[in-house]
Structure 1
């Protein structure tokens, strides 16, 4: 990298940080999660608003590989933090309700997404029909655990029964979605040598039966700074191994966070979330949003594109909501609780963008379909807040006459 490239790269990073933070703050002001504003900032810094000439001026082609490398590191760190934040207690002892809601809220949009893929293949051909159908189904079935947790906290629902159930289902959905994506990556032939995929099972065994006990001992005996350095190195090594196997570095990062000890390692986990979380949120992920936005171009969206977008939104929202709502009602939850759960499970956020970036990298998605799916991720996340407010207001309106009659009686 020459001195001129380095200077332009630093300027580009400064622009990215300022613009994404500004839009994140604006999103918060209107009651949305900051990630909504940051995703929107990434799109607006791309060709959708500025055109190819404008994006080339802000982000010259010769610095984009460096930005993409930082973005990739940011996603790996984020997936580690997602795995780290999954509470193992959420995955145990929640009974048939959480299991049923989790499965139906994954299987229904998965099936509908696969059916939609058969239609989309006409305008977005792909040689691997099964891989394309599974990818579209997986993209429809995602729930963003981190964004969901933020929405629940902001609205005071994280300590309620329905909030705890939503977090449990989202945690299970995350594990199922990433397992499905691993299958999609394998089907689409990402591995340079297919035999390496057979090493996935020994890798999992080593991670759970060897690495996990070592991490527990590390947390109990090593100094915090030294332990953090070892954890960071282990994270990168785990990502490298899954990439070499032929899955994706994201799986290694997520799994490494998942096996991190919870009990007796609170200080190490706290430091890791604080140190890595700030760097990831302020520097690395904004770069990821912008690099994703450079691949989104909605300026030439025609009638056919609008029809496809409508179908994508119908399948994504309808499949996820119906699956969660129907399962909740079958288990005795009332209409308000079931609708709240269905709305929360539709939150996709950054997790969806990461999955879409994998699809773009594998060639499963072309640029046009990628753009439409990014809009779907933005809409399904942004609609959660207003829909929750609407459900709550209608509930209050319905309860008011009953309270009045009770007072009269």
Structure 2
């Protein structure tokens, strides 16, 4: 098959197929569109299409098509996380740091500890899951980080589709997820540097990260606010300026070791409030529908889900139990002690075990670095899907007695 035709056919399958499935009410009740898109990527990969029709799989995914998919996936994830950053309100984040300090620490620390234990067991029971360049401590830490991840973009999608995005609970959950993600990428940067045994690289990463954060907060944000204060700025100028900040921030964050996801998210948070509504209206629907599915596709091509394998089921069960227990208990108990009601505290815990997009980003980084091997990667991708599917029904169950059963979400054309 011609490469251009193959790429366009893959785009058709990625955009239309998951959307049609998600339109089914029973599916929409439990899963955001992002989860269905992740499943679509897995099914088009070696897990399903590669087994059922290997000739078709090889024809669709030639080397040039794979290269194009990789570029589109990077753009898609950058743009979508940028939009998610614009959804987070600055006052809510500052309030979250003051009010939710203990839940923020608990939601990262307990799952990280349980993940470390799970990683040690995985290395002992399934040594083939350990990456080729990983020591035992590095592998266990990598698994701990994966268990501790909260997927900010997919969490925003779930909150949007449940009608909770603008509520105090929704903004608290987003603030907690943002704090989690910042700590997460700092931990990954340090892990990658330490795994190379280069203390100098670790110090350079920390120093450059601090400089990058200072530049975003003290330089870029005031400059954009001065631009926004000028009346009559053309919409085209706003769009170009915003995209320029996005790509520059993501590129620099990637270069210093923080990761392009944190860079893109930070670019969204520094956008002036006056610009956000128009930018989201222009960028978010197209990004979610046409670009982000390419990221899920590239992830699915690297994952092999084998539900008939006892090793796979063992890996999946271990990391899923560590994630659900760690996230729910690690968030809910400190939140209750901080003054939240049990319902809100448990709802925060249920929301914080959302995985989805951020998890597969982290997994791709760790797999490329040789810290986890293919069996661990595939089990953790499956865990990300399972935990994300559990998020909506768990949250509904917790909140039902306080605000009534949350109505079925109105069909939406965006992720949130």
TM-score band (shorter)? 0.7 to 0.9
Write the distance in 2 (CA, Å) between the matches of 1:206 and 1:94.
23
Residues 163 and 245 of structure 1: is their aligned pair in 2 closer, same or farther, counting only changes over 3 Å?
closer
User: Helix, strand or coil: the match of 1:383?
Assistant: helix
Structure 1 unaligned blocks of 5 or more = 398-409
Q: 1:287 maps to what in 2?
A: 294
Structure 1 residue 182 displacement after superposition: 3.0
Runs of 4+, deviation exceeding 6 Å: 394-397
Q: TM-score, normalised by structure 1?
A: 0.85
Check conservation: 1:343, 1:387, Cα contact below 8 A.
yes
What does 1:2-401 correspond to in 2, within 5 Å? Answer: 4-26=2-24, 29-51=28-50, 53=54, 54-94=56-96, 97-122=99-124, 123=127, 124-126=129-131, 127-129=133-135, 130-158=137-165, 161-189=168-196, 194=201, 197=205, 198-221=207-230, 222-262=233-273, 266=274, 268-299=275-306, 301-392=308-399
Deviations 1:137-159 (A, max 9, x none): 22211222333333334334446
Write the distance in 2 (CA, Å) between the matches of 1:190 and 1:55.
40
Aligned length in residues: 390
Deviations 1:63-110 (A, max 9, x none): 111111111111122222232222211122357652111111111001
Deviates more, 1:109-118 or 1:333-342: 333-342
Deviates more, 1:216-225 or 1:279-288: 216-225
Structure 1 residue 55 displacement after superposition: 2.3
Structure 1 residue 336 displacement after superposition: 3.4
Check conservation: 1:24, 1:35, Cα contact below 8 A.
no
Relative CO higher for 1 or 2, CA cutoff 8 Å, sep ≥ 6?
2
Q: 2:411 maps to what in 1?
A: none
Q: TM-score, normalised by structure 2?
A: 0.84
Check conservation: 1:76, 1:249, Cα contact below 8 A.
yes
Deviations 1:106-133 (A, max 9, x none): 1100111122222223422344434433
Check conservation: 1:84, 1:260, Cα contact below 8 A.
yes
Structure 1 residue 316 displacement after superposition: 0.6
